[in-house]
Amino acid sequence: MDPTGARIRTLMGFLFLRQGRLEDAARELDAAKRLDFREVEARTELGFVLLRLGREEEALVELRDVLRIDRRAPRAYVGMGMILAKRERTGEAMTAFQNAIQVDPTHGPAYLRLAETLDRIGRPVDAWSTAEQAHDRGEDVAPAFWQQLTEKLPSAPPLPPPCAEASGTTVGLDNPDPAHRGYIARVRERVRTHVAYPRRAGERGIAGELQVELRIGREGRIECVVLRRSSGSELLDRYVLSAVRLAQPFAALPAHVPPPSLPVSGTFRFRIGEGAASR
């Protein structure tokens, strides 16, 4: 075995992968595993690259070998589950995704793939709950998937329409005036439970700051929401808008808040190494 050489070939494989050179990436990752058969990172990534190249059977063999070396490799379980789901071996696919979650409860991709599978077998309630858990762990759940589930679930939080105009004076999430402090503190905590650093943004080194305005109706539902300042990243913007939607319903507005709604604004900051913050 040559662990040092294997690591160099693994890094070369990841470099080619970032450049979209899948065949070159597969060659380097395969070389890495031959230099050190316990190079789990290379073998796992090789399985996903082979899957993207349409070499499904080879990918399945590679991912199974990873799990023979390390039974606590969540990505290998997810990759196997994706292949099994594609082959309509739904029960086995769900078991693979659940195994990934069991070994790493923070692994967002496992929740997202499990949610997609639950939806396919007619369990939209469970699919929504699992998709929400995926989002809360930093997964960028596709808007089309949220919409698909919303159409099946009348009880799902509705997608708020965009606000037509700026409200002028708004109550800040992190600096509310004394009259709104208690209520906004509860709103802030509900929103924060749905905000993490999006996984793909972190992997790509994407950072940014955005501002969102929402209007909360008397019953605690969001009447409208709008992005007042973009982060410059569609991924970050979309993720925060989904987080705000998932946070509702809030508590009913206090009696002293004048009708028809309470305009609230929040700034969300994503910095590499610091995570996500709102203010």
Q: The domain spanning residue 143 has which CATH number?
A: 1.25.40.10
pLDDT digits (tens, 9 = 90+) for 217-227: 999 999 999 99
Is there a single domain that holds both residue 202 and residue 253?
A: yes
User: What pTM does this model have?
Assistant: 0.90
- Going from the C-alpha of 66 to that of each of 61, 86, 203, the distances in angstroms are 9, 20, 22
| pLDDT tens track for 98-149 | 999 999 999 999 999 999 999 999 999 999 999 999 999 999 999 999 999 9
Q: How far apart are the first and last CA of the chain?
A: 52
Q: Tell me whether residue 165 is in a domain.
A: no
Buried b (16+ CB within 10 A) or exposed e, 252-272: ebeeebeeebbbbbbbbbbee
Residues 141, 181: one domain? no
- The mean predicted confidence, pLDDT, of the chain is 93
**Percent of residues, the chain, with pLDDT higher than 70:** 97
Number of domains in the chain: 2
